[in-house]
Amino acid sequence: MDAKAPLLVFDSGIGGLSVLAEIRAALPQAPVIYAADNGGLPYGPKSEAEVAARVCGLLGRMSERYKPRLICIACNTASTIALGMVRDVLNVPVVGTVPAIKPAAGLTRSGTIGLLGTAATIRQGYVDRLEAEFAADKRLLRFAAGELVSAAEAKLRGALVDPAVYARAAGGLREQPGGEAIDTVVLACTHFPLLRDELQQAFGPQVQFVDGAKGIARRIVHLTAGQDFVRAAPDLALFTRAEDGLAKLVPALAHYGLARVEVLK
């Protein structure tokens, strides 16, 4: 294994930075390429076929060009749809992101769990299977809160976000039958932990939030155990489309250790 080979962290946008933060904490010496498919954002309204084709195609190109030692799909929507396909076509370890239903089931005291995700994520059979396996004796309420993706993207660009966005996400769960009992909410989109403070205010202090970032980092540590890491150049933020808003992201990217910004050719 080339010690300079990077970890490739992939998301539809900047949501995967919430996962990157945990990877940094666990493997601070690891070189990273953070790839954001801003050209395809958002994934939530897209069909399964569109997401699968796009993710497989992009990760194939990036794997060939950058020779990563491991790929992390830091996107719940992409993982629940395309993880198996990516593993089938790429000869590199691939770690996915799945809704943290199992830990939520262990934390809830009321037995009622909320799940916020994109429209594509919450309708997946994968989520049904997680619920059946780990939360069969709980009540799991789901809500498609796709506008939180845009809110997170705006926040990291320094823009103001209407607080009504967070109120609608909370109301989308609370107003369902039994929703008043929710005490644990699964953040089933990597963008959403970037809005944890705003969501906490909308839901109230009695609600706890769960996401899968720490578990992903632990898995990557396990898969790379014994490997050497050398950071030969500053870590890279890679985007799939040039846009004016990228310049506004530079301070946030630097905060996550991404000192270079490029657009995929």
Could you give the residue numbers annotated as active site? 75, 189
Tell me how far the alpha carbon of residue 198 is from its chain's centroid: 18
Buried b or exposed e, range 19-36, using 16+ CB within 10 angstroms: bbbbbbebbeebbbbbbb
Nearest to 82 by CA among 91, 70, 73, 93: 73
Buried b or exposed e, range 127-163, using 16+ CB within 10 angstroms: beebbeebbeebbbbbbbbbbbbbbbbbbbbeeebee
Angle at 72 between CA 66 and CA 77, to 5 degrees: 120
Helix (H) or strand (E) holding 156: helix 147-156
> How far apart are alpha carbons 115 and 99 in whole angstroms?
8
Token digits of residue 200: 């906490």
- Asked if 22 and 217 touch (Cβ cutoff 8 Å), the reply is yes
| Helices vs strands, H then E, count in the chain | 11, 10
Nearest to 178 by CA among 230, 140, 225: 140
Nearest to 17 by CA among 262, 261, 258: 258
Sheet holding 94-95, edge to edge: 94-95, 70-73, 7-11, 32-36, 236-239, 260-263
